[in-house]
Structure 1
Amino acid sequence: MSFIIRPARPDDLQALYEMAKLTGGGFTNLPADRPALAAKLERTAAALARAEEGIADDLILFVLENRTTGQIRGTCQIFSQVGATAPFYSYRLGTLTQHSRELDRTFRAQMLSLTTDLEGAAEVGGLFLHPRERAEGLGLLLARSRYLYIRQHRARFGERILAELRGVIDEAGGSPFWDGLAGRFFGMGFQEADAFNAIHGNQFIADLMPKTPIYVDMLSDHARAVIGMPHPNGRAAMRMLETEGFKYNGYIDIFDGGPTMLGKIDNLRTVAQARELRFAGTHGEGGAKMLVAAGRLADFRCAYARALPDGEDGVRLDGEAADLLGLLSEDRLLVAER
């Protein structure tokens, strides 16, 4: 397989823009806007050039490249911490319990509270795979390469990590959640607000959204039905996150009501199970299919490889994977089971 994950470069802008146009909207981290994408590439370059260790406001954008054709066929992103320069808003779904002695009844109401609880957490997002490449486990490679990058640069990330899943969007491109709640306060449709957020950030939420909790029962039936529900196309992604160790704890996106998944970095399956090994050379055939990562910062690479153990701390890979990763004898690798 000739696909490899690597950090994006400025000359990937056109390919990223073409992919962004395929997302169908509601994909905040990959807007079909050249200046916004160029800004992401600039932030990526700055993050990769930063020499000092420690947590900063980094964004690293990755691409999936077919080395045979040179085409960019997928992308994903890591934010080292959210809320560093602007508030990171979520709704938290909770319950208010009240008791009436006179009626001898207990009333429980679900409430949505605007919160910045998740500030400081890392975020994985912006995963998009070209529709013609949705086979051979490439989506899994994109997703899990980010956790190997985090493991390789552990000092640059904190303890928590989140992933926002796109919420339910109707056939017309609208959001039942937005229409039932936020849209009433902003006087604009979901697509317009989502596009504005993708380019300018969500400070306008702080300016205009009510700060008091919202009773869920006051929303429309359509809005209530989609709270915490992923877009149908995102259900597989939700299962993938759950397998990795993420959980849904009642936090939802303020725009479309999609679920925000939370995890602890050191407990993620890929981070916890990855082994650091020595590259002992190539082999001719056989071996188990593994995820293998090598290099740091701008030199980081991740690909599938057929791996065979070599002693206690060594591993041999198939020749194609070794070439893709640009490996030399005795290089250190991170290896994780598929």
Structure 2
Amino acid sequence: MTFRMRAARLEDLEALYEMAKLTGGGFTNLPPDRAALGVKLERAAAAFAREGDTLEDEQFVLVLENSATGDVRGTCQIFTQVGQQWPFYSYRMTTLTQHSQELDRTVRAEMLSLTTDLEGSSEVGGLFLHPGERAGGLGLLLARSRYLFIAMHRARFADRVIAELRGIIDDRGGSPFWDGVAGRFFGMSFQEADYFNAINGNQFIADLMPKHPVYIAMLQDSARSVIGLPHPTGRAAMRMLENEGFAAEGYVDIFDGGPTMIARTDRVKSIKEAKPANVAAIGLEKGERALVATGTLADFRACYGARQFSEDGAVSIDSRAADVLDVTPGDTVWSVER
């Protein structure tokens, strides 16, 4: 089977809804709500249709498609500039050091401070791969195709990019972090708050969240122990982000305490190393394994393939990738080593 990434379309709504029901909660960017998903697809359609080359507040949705059957088996999203419609809140872990000469004792208190430091960043998120397809490197194709898209449309993205990883969710679908921190002020469960945020935005956080720092030592053990930890299913995603140059810098999600990874956009490995080239020949039998992409905006598509550069900078690719991407000699493709 051969898979390709492509721009999402309005008719992908039902496929996205069916996948959203499989997430298990905590996926704010992929809520199991047809109306909310429809708004996302409409917003993405407007972003794909805009031809300007400037940074605006936009959202792109990509899907993973079985090129033989047309079935949608995964999705991911890219936000060009977060925190424009409403504040983009995070907790930042900080340390306050105090010293008593009388006691000859130094105390370091770790705190969580509510912040909007990351406003204006681009964000990669909403990544979900159908449980039946979690093999063959498809998760890597989903994740890295976003960076090829950014490289191919660089002017429409910010100079910093972030990725929020889902935090620890317990067996009942709750969040120990939410129960120990924000849940005390909102009178609603994690599932209720997560769903409300996905559908209505997070202005309610600004309205009700206390603005003073939270001393971590005063939290119950169950909440303290999960701060900055990714959900077990997100550990591989965290390693992939680290391999791309992302790092955890002390920011965590206000809902579940999961880590926020941060990178300079032009230093992300798959963006920095992405190369455009004209296709010189098709039918390469042996070559370097790569991610190959072509098309702009709504015509974007990407897949795994093989490539080989010639001395003049042109590239040859394998027949399967050419078929999946629908490219012919003379077309331009972008690629990065797999």
TM range (shorter): over 0.9
- 1:163 maps to 163
Structure 1 residue matching 2:40: 3-state secondary structure:
helix
Structure 1 residue matching 2:317: 3-state secondary structure:
strand
Cα distance in structure 2, aligned partners of 1:68 and 1:334: 23
> What is the 5 A alignment of 1:57-206?
57-206=57-206
Structure 2 residue matching 1:243: 3-state secondary structure:
helix
Cα distance in structure 1, aligned partners of 2:87 and 2:186: 19
- 2:32 maps to 32
Cα distance in structure 2, aligned partners of 1:113 and 1:284: 54
Amino acid in structure 2 at the alignment position of 1:84 = Q
Cα distance in structure 1, aligned partners of 2:325 and 2:74: 18
Amino acid in structure 1 at the alignment position of 2:196 = F
1:2 and 2:35 matched: no
Larger displacement relative to structure 2 (70-79 or 269-278): 269-278
Cα distance in structure 2, aligned partners of 1:284 and 1:191: 50
Amino acid in structure 2 at the alignment position of 1:9 = R
Gaps of 5+ in 1: none
Larger displacement relative to structure 2 (193-202 or 300-309): 300-309
Q: CA deviation at 1:283?
A: 1.6
RMSD over equivalenced CA pairs, Å:
0.9
Amino acid in structure 2 at the alignment position of 1:34 = R
Cα distance in structure 2, aligned partners of 1:330 and 1:311: 16
Amino acid in structure 2 at the alignment position of 1:248 = A
- 1:270 maps to 270
Amino acid in structure 1 at the alignment position of 2:89 = Y
- 1:318 maps to 318
Cα distance in structure 2, aligned partners of 1:284 and 1:54: 37
1:199-245 alpha-carbon deviations (Å, 9 max, x no partner) = 11111000000000010011000000000000011101000000000
Amino acid in structure 1 at the alignment position of 2:182 = A
1:241-260 alpha-carbon deviations (Å, 9 max, x no partner) = 00000000000000000000
Structure 2 residue matching 1:84: 3-state secondary structure:
coil
Q: CA deviation at 1:175?
A: 0.4
1:142-171 alpha-carbon deviations (Å, 9 max, x no partner) = 000000000000000111000000000100
> What is the 5 A alignment of 1:319-334?
319-334=319-334
> What is the 5 A alignment of 1:288-303?
288-303=288-303
- 1:218 maps to 218
Amino acid in structure 1 at the alignment position of 2:188 = M
Amino acid in structure 2 at the alignment position of 1:82 = V
Structure 2 residue matching 1:114: 3-state secondary structure:
strand
Structure 1 residue matching 2:330: 3-state secondary structure:
coil
- 2:250 maps to 250
Cα distance in structure 1, aligned partners of 2:36 and 2:64: 20
Cα distance in structure 2, aligned partners of 1:207 and 1:73: 38
Query: Paired residues, what number?
Result: 338
Larger displacement relative to structure 2 (98-107 or 262-271): 98-107
Structure 1 residue matching 2:95: 3-state secondary structure:
strand
Amino acid in structure 2 at the alignment position of 1:108 = R
TM-score, normalised via structure 2 length: 0.99
1:227 and 2:234 matched: no
Q: CA deviation at 1:288?
A: 2.1
Larger displacement relative to structure 2 (279-288 or 315-324): 279-288
Cα distance in structure 2, aligned partners of 1:284 and 1:106: 66
- 1:44 maps to 44
> What is the 5 A alignment of 1:303-314?
303-314=303-314
1:285-321 alpha-carbon deviations (Å, 9 max, x no partner) = 2222210011111011111112222333111111121
TM-score, normalised via structure 1 length: 0.99
**Does the 8 A contact of 2:284 with 2:306 survive in 1?**
no
Q: CA deviation at 1:284?
A: 4.9
Amino acid in structure 2 at the alignment position of 1:206 = A
Gaps of 5+ in 2: none
Amino acid in structure 1 at the alignment position of 2:131 = P
